[in-house]
Structure 1
Amino acid sequence: MADYGHDLRFGSFLTPQNRSPEAVVDLALLSERAGLDLVTFQDHPYQNAFLDTWTLLSWVAARTERIHLSGNVLNLPLRPPAVLARSVASLDLLSGGRVDLALGAGAFWDAVEAMGGRRLTPGAAVDALSEAIDVIRAIWAADERGGVRVKGDHYTVNGAKRGPAPAHDVPIWLGAYKPRMLRLIGRKGDGWLPSLGYLRPADLSDGNKIIDEAAQTAGRDPREIRRLLNIQGSFQSGDAFLQGPPGQWVETLLPLVLADGVSTFILGSDDPTVIATFGQEVAPALREAVAAERRGAATPTGRVRPAAALARRRDGIDYDAVPPSLAERAVEPGDREYEGLRSTYVWTGRPGLVLRPATAPQVADALAFARSQDVPLAVRSGGHGISGRSTNDGGIVIDLRGMNRVELLDRDRRIVRVGAGARWGEVAQALDPHGLAISSGDHPGVGVGGLATAGGQGFLARGYGLTLDHVVGAEVVLADGRTVRADAGHHPDLFWALRGAGGNMGVVTSLDIEAAEVGDVVFAVFLHDASDTAGFLRAWGRLAADGPRELTAFLSIVRRQGEILAQTYAVWAGGDTDAATAALQPFLEISPVLGQQARLTRYAALMAPTSDVHHGQARMRGRSALLAHLDEPNAATAARLVADGDVTLLQVRSVGGAVNDTPADATAYAHRTQNFSLTALIRESRRAHAEETWAAFGDAALYLSFETHDHAAALTRAFPGPTLERLRRVKAAYDPGNVFRNNFPIPPAGA
């Protein structure tokens, strides 16, 4: 008996005939509609009656949304492994992680030679496949240092650059029948993919034994290796194997799962009715039957971690206790997806576990598990923040990026429901067809949850206010696991606190936000010589603060090769180009202009979606000050930071106008008199000197998202006295145990 406990998957195995190219594509689309998990295609590059399988896979990937794709099996002798590795990773990235890799050592050697391939003996073909697996995995290991070097008898790679890494942990399945190939699967493969028609009755159990022994010898758990099977049949009555109604198929396939460990059945058929019946009737019934048998036998199920990954686990985390609702998508050190999840935009992290919930109940499960572990906890929406508080070292990160739905609830009231894990580029694109926009920072990769609960100093701020000023409701998972609605009529004290200190109160899973009627905008970029930095700042500040509210300007100052350059991004919220020109023209007169451009565009064009993966940058400190004016003292202090080389970037954002229309006590963000938000990224090597200069700003308020300076006094600069006392009372009511203490910890009242 050999049930390895894998989840059951079902697929189709299609003939890529080229006489009617759309016919095979239609069958692939039918496979997805029928609920199948996988669509595969034969790969015979020497067969002129077939479409090229890799081209077909790419085409079908673009036409489908959910289903995984694979060759069955790809002909390695005619597909060089280094190139194949990049092809697989590229299509996996483009398809959102839906490509699997099945390889064959080669057959039909006359045809392979005719196409320019090398004829190999059976033993040499196995050796070549083993070397190819090493090449492919090394190319995918984008996080490892140095080039790829594999010196083999058949494939040699000498210093090839690594990457790209696939979007998901692409399995390598091998089509195999003979003992030598089966042992290779045990050592290096992720799955065994034979065709039932080529097997004798005992071949499955005998093959499993060989694979399992080889896996154990290599220090692997045999359960790491999925067992797949190509099958054929029909739903007409007959005496042959898999001939009969769906119920008979279930009875026939059930022993293959329970006794022979098969967990993926791939149906070889080009009959639409057979494919549909297999997906819609056989698959769900067999899943139900297997689940019942496994419950009775207490069969271990779920994901099996490779031994190498288990060795990277961190102390203080009970990995075996991760809730079932989260286990499948949980990411640990050593997993292929870990490199793209461990860090934030600025800060490099090394968490022990990343949990990726997709629903509020799953967030509650993640919180309950995290609370039971003796390690730090971080919550991440997009990971773009400067503060670095959405990662950690050795702890747990709850990553919300799977909760990224954008839904227009009410067009007349302009109410939009946005998942906390969405990025603002996705929001802008979703709202643009409706003529709507939400002011949302200056980068499309910023996550909704972090920005909308901390402030939201965006390109439309002077005309429309902060992002949080337009939040009208939120769904929140509290520290005790309850999910509540917070708005003006439900938990109003929590609703007040979420708008400015949301990261301290719970995990916000979605927000209802009032959007603005925004279509075309004027976007201008100016590059100035800012040698007289203090004078430039004073002049720029006057124009930015005194201009019409439709104009919001952001300024970035850097020092490069001895020159001080100032770049202005300015957005006029509307399509009146004459009014925009009149407001922008004075900016061209304050110092020598090195470059300028302006264009009429859509707001969504400024926030084009990005799929950037964060890998951290050089360690740096972020300092923040909210200022009423860029007067002489403030401008001189800022200029000194640049001139002395203390900062890599100095940025000023306009936050007056509509931002200051909201009463200071209406939200936990209480800074409603300032016109500018100043941010400096301080070089770590210059930190002490920069702090001395920064002290000239006195007790200026700060903006949490841009601040990494976390001494106790900073809390009162983030939240004025009355605001902080009220927050402490709310904290005592909703998070008395101070579970959410990673984001400028607010002690509960009475603590």
Structure 2
Amino acid sequence: MSDYGHELRFGSFLTPRVHDPDQVVALAELTEAAGLDLVTFQDHPYNAEFLDTWTLLSWVAARTERLRISGNVLSLPLRPPAVLARAAASLDRLSHGRFELGLGAGAFWDGIEGMGARRLTAGQGVTALREAIDVLRGVWDDTATGPLRLDGEYYPVPGMQRGPKPAHDIDIWLGAYQPKMLALTGQKANGWLPTLEYLRSPDRVTANRLIDEAAVAAGREPREIRRLLNLFTVDVSSRSRGFLQGPVEQWVEQLLPLVLEEGFSTFLIGRDDPRLIQTLGQEIAPALREAVARERAGGEVGTGPVRTTVALAERHPGLDYDALPSSLATRSVEPGDPEYERVRHTYSRHGSPALVIRPQNAAEVVDAVSYARTQDVPLSVRSGGHGISGRSTNDGGVVIDMSRMHKVEVLDRATRRVRLEPGARWGDVAQALAPYGLAMSSGDYGDVGVGGLATTGGVGYLARKHGLTIDHVVAAEIVTADGRLLRVDDEHHPDLFWAIRGAGGNFGVVTALELEAYEVDKVVYAQLVADATDTAPLLRRWGQLVEDAPRELTSFLSLFPGRRGNPPAAQVTLVYAGDDVEAAQSALSPFLEIGPILDQQAQLAPYPAIVVPPGNQHRGQGLEDTRSGLLHHVTPQAADLMESMIQSGDVMIMQLRSVGGAVNDIARDATAYPHRKQNFSVLAATVPDRRPQLDKLWAELYPHLDGLYLSFESDTDPARLLDAWPEPTLGRLRTIKASYDPDNVFNRNFPIPPADPVA
């Protein structure tokens, strides 16, 4: 019995004939339409009768939406691994994680040598392939520091910059038949990709055993290696004419032992036959999946991620990993898993959670919340990981990471209704809405996730013209602490709908938001850098100009302390919400008088261009100690105190963001964000060893503040709750909390205590 428990996959293995390129592309599109999982192509670069496989892969990736793509198998001697690594990662990112790498050591050496590559013996080819895999993985490894250096005989890398990282962990599948290649498959590959008709010596059983033995010797679990199989001599007909040549029922009967007894889990049809491709997707695959599920039911074969003994030793003792629902088995990341380093931290905080769950739909969020409730460990929820408070990671607990729920949809252009999933990044939202002439003001950094910002506030570049992000939320879907998936709006659970617009992290996991976007095409974007030696006068002038400016103008001002003999500097961002250049120039020009201008630039730009998501990795690299407050006006007293702060050297950055305008058009009690009279948001941030000094300086500014903006505050002391939600807002939130989360399951994000049931 050698069932490795892998999810079944099915696909096609197509011939890239050059004389009819449209036909091979049509067959690839049919592969997707038939519900199959994977399309692969032969790779013979020396054959002038074939299209170039890499070009074809790229073209098919652009013509499909769901289908995985791979060479079957790529000829390594003609595709140097350092270049191949970058090409593969690029194609994977462009296709949103749909590329896998089938790779071979080389065949048809006359043709390979004729194109200028060095002829290798079989043993040399295996050594070269081993080196190539190390190069590929080294280039893709974004957790390693410094350049990639490998001392290889065939593929030396003296010093190569790593990256880019693929969109997902690309599988490397080897076309292997002989013992040395099979051993290499077990030692380093993610999959074995032979062709059934070529499997003569050793046979399939012996080959599987050699792979398993090599895997164990290398400290790997044999289940880490997927077994794929190309099938050429096959057909579907009404009567049997041989192996896999007969009716659908015969296919199921003959493929079933290959799954349950020999461990194969991916079957690729090597015939360019549209009827066969359709039958495979619509009849054979569903029937075989059903038969395998029936045989596996109640068995001991694991179907989740494969983890080595070393990885299992990294598990936290306080968590019951075995209780994780099967629906989440392939969605979880544990300490010791390859992806753990990429999901454990946030932008500002380091974390070491016991488990990170990445659901792909609302039903899986329900399962994740239900599971987390059974564990006596912290629970964090993450949308984008930029929350400055750092509460979207933890140590030893569960993190529900929403990054895989990232759809952006325009539901109705006429009413400007859009639907956003919480894991989407605001820069990507801007790109998706731009073709419709729509936008949504949402902070200033495109990597920030939708979920956190759109349930807290949303002070963006268009705030004075269009208000906060939460002011445009018209409905939401949320999983509550008791595992219910609710749709909330003004008519359905209106109390909860009110609460999540300003205090959302306290009430559940938002799985989707519907908003009314607004008409925005191009904006005027300007940046100034000013000498801030005379900090207080500069702040006062800037503040007054902002209040006097038309609503179309929103401005952010960042202060940086002087360094290396240079004076403090102010960076001012100005965004005019419209493409009227003359009106924008009139609104922007007065800001040139705020102080000595060191640099200036302005441009008319599409809104998405000013919030492009950089895709930074999260390693806890941000400033983790911040203080936040709101100002009605930049008064002389407040300006003097902020000058003292930035010139103390103990504050790394201060930032003022303009609110007011449309933000203050909303009634104080319309949402759970009650701050509708202030004109500015203020934050100050520093490094951990200077936090005491920051606290002392902030205490002097505090009497001049009125409220705080949650997204910029890292101090979650309960005493700050009334700053965030002054009464009667806090009392109303506590009552709603008692109704929807009486056990305080969601207690990491400025936790609101449930109201006393007696009260």
Alignment TM-score > 0.5, same fold: yes
Q: Residue 295 of structure 2 is aligned with which of 293, 296, 304?
A: 293
Give TM-score scaled by structure 1 length.
0.95
- The normalised TM-score by structure 2 is 0.94
SS of the residue corresponding to residue 417 of structure 1 reads: strand
Give the direction of change, closer, same or farther, for the CA distance of 1:484–1:185 in structure 2 (3 Å limit).
same
Question: 2:178 is matched with which residue?
Answer: 178
Distance 1:386 1:618, change over 3 A: closer
Could you list the per-position Cα deviations for residues 674-731 of structure 1 after superposition, in whole angstroms to 9, with x for gaps in the alignment?
1110112213332222222111112432111001122232222222132222222221
1:506 alignment partner in structure 2:
508
Task: State which of 688, 707, 730 in structure 2 corresponds to 1:724.
Answer: 730
550 and 136 in structure 1: CA distance in 2 versus 1, 3 angstrom threshold = closer
Q: For 1:311 and 1:170, locate their aligned partners in 2 and report how far apart those are by CA, in whole Å.
A: 25
Equivalent of 1:622, from 593, 618, 626? 626
Which residue of the partner structure matches residue 705 of structure 1? 711
Q: Which residue of 2 aligns with 1:594?
A: 598
Question: CA offsets, 1:433-462, max 9 Å, x none?
Answer: 443332221222222211111111112222
SS in 2 for 1:594: strand
The alpha carbon displacement at 1:383 in A equals: 1.6
Aligned pairs for 1:213-224 within 5 A: 213-224=213-224
What is the deviation of 1:258? 1.9
Match of 1:472?
474
Instruction: Give yes or no for contact 2:348–2:387 (8 Å, CA) kept in 1.
Output: yes
- The number of aligned residues is 751
Structure 2 CA distance for aligned equivalents of residues 85 and 346 of structure 1: 30
Q: Which runs of 5+ in 1 are unaligned?
A: none
Report the equivalent of 2:555. 553
Contact 2:240 2:247 in 1 (8 A): no
Change (3 A) 1:613 1:62: farther
Q: Is 1:578 matched with 2:582?
A: yes
Structure 1 partner of 2:698: 694
Whole-Å Cα distance in 2 between the matches of residues 441 and 133 of structure 1? 41
Q: What is the CA-CA distance between 1:263 and the residue it aligns to?
A: 0.7
Say which of 326, 329, 334 aligns to 1:327. 329
Q: Distance in 1 between matches of 2:302 and 2:131?
A: 33
Aligned to 1:136: 136
Alignment of 1:298-697 (within 5 A): 299-559=301-561, 560-561=563-564, 562-608=566-612, 611-697=615-701
How far did residue 296 of structure 1 move? 6.4
SS in 2 for 1:328: helix
Q: Distance in 1 between matches of 2:525 and 2:132?
A: 50
Residue by residue, what CA displacement relative to the aligned partner does 1:53-83 show, whole Å, maximum 9, x if unpaired? 2232223222222111112122223333333
TM-aligned CA distance change 1:426 to 1:162, over 3 Å: closer
| Distance (whole Å) between structure 2 residues aligned to residue 217 and residue 573 of structure 1 | 63
Cα offset for 1:618?
4.7
Residues 141-290 of structure 1: pairs in structure 2 closer than 5 A: 141-200=141-200, 203-232=203-232, 233-236=234-237, 239-290=241-292
Q: One-letter code of the match for 1:256?
A: L
Query: Do 1:520 and 1:575's aligned partners in 2 also have CA atoms closer than 8 Å?
Result: yes
Contact 1:429/1:609 (8 A) holds in 2: no
Distance 1:130 1:638, change over 3 A: same
Aligned to 1:650, the other structure's residue is in SS state strand
What stretches of structure 2 of length at least 5 have no aligned partner?
A: none
Structure 2 CA distance, aligned partners of 1:81 and 1:412?
50
Give the deviation of 1:738 after TM superposition: 0.9
Preserved CA contact (<8 Å) 1:167 1:337: no
Q: Which residue type is aligned with residue 362 of structure 2?
A: A
CA distance, structure 1, for counterparts of residue 481 and residue 396 of structure 2: 21
Q: Distance in 1 between matches of 2:364 and 2:154?
A: 48
Partner of 1:36: 36
Shift of 1:299: 4.1
Report if the CA contact (8 A) 1:168-1:337 is conserved: no
Asked if the contact 2:347/2:622 (under 8 Å) is kept, the reply is no
1:100-152 C-alpha deviation (Å, 9 max, x unpaired): 12222223333333333333332333233233323322332220234434334
CA drift at 1:21 = 3.0
Deviation at 1:160, TM superposition (A): 3.2
Secondary structure of the structure 2 residue equivalent to 1:674: coil
Contact 1:625-1:697 within 8 A present in 2 as well: no
Q: Per the alignment, do residues 53 and 512 of structure 1 end up closer, same or farther by CA in structure 2, a change over 3 Å counting? A: closer
2:106·2:125 contact (CA, 8 Å) conserved in 1? yes
Counterpart Cα distance in 1 of 2:114 and 2:522: 59
Tell me if 1:76 matches 2:76: yes
Retained in 1: the 8 A contact 2:672–2:729?
yes
SS, match of residue 426 in structure 1 = helix
> Percent identity of the aligned residues?
61
1:736 aligns with 2:746: no
Change beyond 3 A, Cα 1:552–1:288:
same
CA positional deviation for 1:230: 0.8
Q: 1:412, CA displacement in angstroms?
A: 4.5
2:739 aligned counterpart, secondary structure = helix
* 1:100 is the counterpart of 2:100: yes
- Partners of 1:452 and 1:688 in 2: CA distance: 32
CA distance in 1 between counterparts of 2:424 and 2:622 reads 26
CA contact (8 A) 1:242 1:248 kept: yes
Q: 1:88 to 1:697 in 2, by over 3 A?
A: same
Per-residue deviation, 1:330? 1.9
User: Judging changes above 3 Å, is the alpha-carbon distance between structure 1 residues 683 and 298 closer, same or farther for their aligned structure 2 residues?
Assistant: closer
C-alpha distance in structure 2 between counterparts of 1:530 and 1:342, whole Å: 38
Runs ≥4 residues deviating over 6 A? none
Greater shift after overlay, 493-502 or 198-207? 198-207
Q: What is the deviation of 1:269?
A: 1.3
Q: Which SS does the other structure have where 1:647 is aligned?
A: coil
Name the stretch that deviates more: 157-166 or 499-508: 157-166
Describe the SS at the equivalent of 1:563.
coil
Secondary structure of 1:698's counterpart equals: helix
Residue identity matched to 1:600:
L
Secondary structure at the aligned position of 1:136 is classed as: helix
Deviations 1:335-362 (A, max 9, x none): 3333332222322333232211122221
- Within 1, Cα distance between the matches of 2:313 and 2:301? 25
Q: In 2, Cα distance between the equivalents of 1:135 and 1:596?
A: 44
1:63 aligns with 2:63: yes
**What is the letter of the counterpart of residue 345 of structure 1?**
Y
Task: Tell me the distance in 1 between the aligned counterparts of 2:316 and 2:404.
Answer: 24
Q: Aligned Cα RMSD in Å?
A: 2.3
For 1:497 and 1:488, the matched residues in 2 are separated by 12
Tell me: CA distance 1:350–1:182, structure 2 relative to 1, closer, same or farther (3 Å).
same
